Amino acid sequence: MALAKGLLSKIHIARQQLGLPDDVYRQKLQGMFGKGSAKDLNLRQAERLLKEFERLGWKPQPSKLAAGKPHNFAQLPAEVQVIEAQLTDMRLPWSYADKIAKQMFGVPKVAWLKKPDQLTAVLAALHVEQEKRNLLAEVDRLCQRLGIEHPEQVAGLEQLPKGWQRQRPILTALVNALNLAIEAREIKEGK
């Protein structure tokens, strides 16, 4: 089984940050695991190699997605855990939710929101973003099914407004129109 790209990248970043010359790096791989390349390591071996790099002075950086996570996360209301789940699902950093809190309430951090309805509002804003992303992904999927690159290639959709990719009503209408185009094509083909 191939080593995950993220873990492989982490190994190469650590190697670069340590300034290990290629021959020293390869000797370490050979000496520790009998392998000539990090891509040949299994998960346990990769983790051991990263521990060895830490012993040599490498300091791993926290994930950009985890950056900004409230230090008092465990003491915050349950809604904050749902916010974290939504951010994780959309692969967004905590700073995204913090910007929503700042924009909506003038409070720079989600962790500083005091009222339950404020957290509910941040959750709602994240839900809207998630819905937009899901609708846009559905538009892309339907375009692929139709064999087109852009929804504007379907008759009647030539005049999409600027920024349509961020507008839920337009995305919803596009999904419906593309589904109708697929149905029409299937009827025409006798499916």
Structure tokens at 93: 């950093």
Q: Are residues 104 and 168 in the same domain?
A: yes
Is residue 68, in this structure, part of any structural domain at all?
A: no
Residue-level length of the chain: 191
Structure tokens at 149: 């690159």
- Quote helix, strand, coil % in the chain, to nearest 5: 70, 0, 30
Pick the closest to residue 91 from 129, 148, 124 (CA basis): 129
Is residue 65, in this structure, part of any structural domain at all?
A: no
Q: Are residues 110 and 144 in the same domain?
A: yes
DSSP state of 3: P
Q: In which domain, by residue range, is 170 found?
A: 73-189
Is residue 82, in this structure, part of any structural domain at all?
A: yes
Structure tokens at 152: 């504007």
pLDDT for res 123? 92
pLDDT for res 105? 95
pLDDT for res 146? 87
Is residue 174, in this structure, part of any structural domain at all?
A: yes
Is residue 61, in this structure, part of any structural domain at all?
A: no
Long-range CB contacts for residues 95-103, cutoff 8 Å, separation at least 24 = 95/67, 95/68, 97/122, 97/126, 98/68, 100/125, 100/126
The sign of the torsion formed by the CA atoms of 111, 117, 123, 128 equals: negative
| All residues at 6 or more sequence positions from 178 whose CB lies less than 8 Å from its CB, including other chains | 139, 142, 143, 146, 151, 154
Is residue 129, in this structure, part of any structural domain at all?
A: yes
Q: Are residues 119 and 149 in the same domain?
A: yes
pLDDT for res 90? 86
- Which phi and psi angles does 158 have, rounded to 5°? -70, -25
pLDDT for res 116? 84
Is residue 24, in this structure, part of any structural domain at all?
A: yes
Q: What is the CA radius of gyration of the chain?
A: 24
pLDDT for res 73? 55
The sign of the torsion formed by the CA atoms of 119, 120, 125, 129 equals: positive
Residues in the chain, pLDDT under 70? 1-6, 61-77, 155-158, 191
Q: To which residue do tokens 């509002």 refer?
A: 121
pLDDT for res 45? 87
Q: Are residues 96 and 38 in the same domain?
A: no
Q: Are residues 150 and 84 in the same domain?
A: yes
